[in-house]
Amino acid sequence: MSVITCVEDLRVLAKRRVPRMFYDYADSGSWTEETYRRNESDFQSIQLRQRVAVNMENRSTATTMAGQAARMPVAIAPVGLTGMQHADGEILAAKAAEKFGVPFTLSTMSICSIEDIAENTSAPFWFQLYMMRDRAAMERMMERAKAARCSALVLTLDLQVIGQRHKDLKNGLTAPPRPTFGNLVNLATKPGWCLGMARTKRHTFRNLVGHVDGVSDMRSLSAWTHEQFDPRLSWADVAWVRERWDGKLILKGIMEAEDAGLAVKAGADAIVVSNHGGRQLDGASSSIRALPAIVDAVGARTEVWMDGGIRSGQDVLKAWALGARGTLVGRAMAYGLGAMGEAGVTRMLQMIHKELDVSMAFCGHTDIRNVDRRILVAGTYPTA
């Protein structure tokens, strides 16, 4: 593909270059994938109002997210197994984000470690944490994140149990991955990917192996991860994290106004309206449809962000117009990384920024801070 013009181009290229089990891991939802598809389609139904004869010079999409400067209201979302989309994937994505000027979030279930990111970048980054039964391991990860100058902790609240993802089941994908015969055959058709992985030492969950008691290799890691996600997660546990983390705390996985209010009471510096990319509760509302009610409920008490379904700068603009003061992109990052490595993530950010900038101008604005619901066609967007 000689010319990349949109995120969909990156997706097509990534599907060609990334082994099936890892591509499907990133590009799938749970059960029927209804919510996964709705995350995108509900954005597409929102219409923009075009304005003319407006001075479009000196445009700015700059903002801050959790106190960190951002060239646009976009951050890289935490995505597990990013280092299996491309060798050293998390490092490459973090470098692209730093150079472009947007925040990067590292997943607990990353292939590259907290320390890997700190050693290869100079900007502060964010670390995403799950509530685990092993509280001592959580405390050690928070301490490591502080030592690595992580400026915010993203606590994911919607993975107490794991949704049934049919593609992962059919591919035999496990954590950590144990390739089946069919997957090994598929790997043979991806020589570029295989060569890249042969050149790196980063092949396992480096945030965990060697850092968790009793986890020293892939076999012990598999047994540990199988039992760690804590189904007993409560707001008391969120308070436990808040007491131990003195930086910015972002709570991810909010889909109801009631939970948003509880998140504010728990001390969240920002909340992320998110259905986990349609990978957990299938049949749930899209994130963009849930957003307005949560914005109205929270008001100015904390920052409200969203993720799920963002594939263009117009999606970012629509989310901002509906009250989101930040967005997280995960799949679009994975597509770019799988397609072209660091250059693919950079290209993704460039395209989203260009689409956001130009669309904002067509709607009659030169500063993202002045954009609100008035740029949207009445009746085409969700309301509280």
As annotated, the active-site residues are: 276
Strand segments (E) across 227-302: 248-254, 270-273
Question: Are the C-beta atoms of residues 104 and 93 closer than 8 Å to each other?
Answer: yes
**One-letter amino acid for residue 32 of the chain:** T
**One-letter amino acid for residue 158 of the chain:** D
At residue 356's C-alpha, the angle toward residues 353 and 357, to 5°, is 85
Three-state SS across 121-185? Answer: CCCCCEEEEECECCHHHHHHHHHHHHHCCCCEEEEECCCCCCCCCHHHHHHCCCCCCCCCHHHHH
Q: Nearest to residue 127, comparing CAs of 136, 135, 140?
A: 140
Question: Are the C-beta atoms of residues 47 and 209 closer than 8 Å to each other?
Answer: no
Question: Are the C-beta atoms of residues 177 and 225 closer than 8 Å to each other?
Answer: no
Q: How far is C-alpha 282 from the chain's CA centre?
A: 18
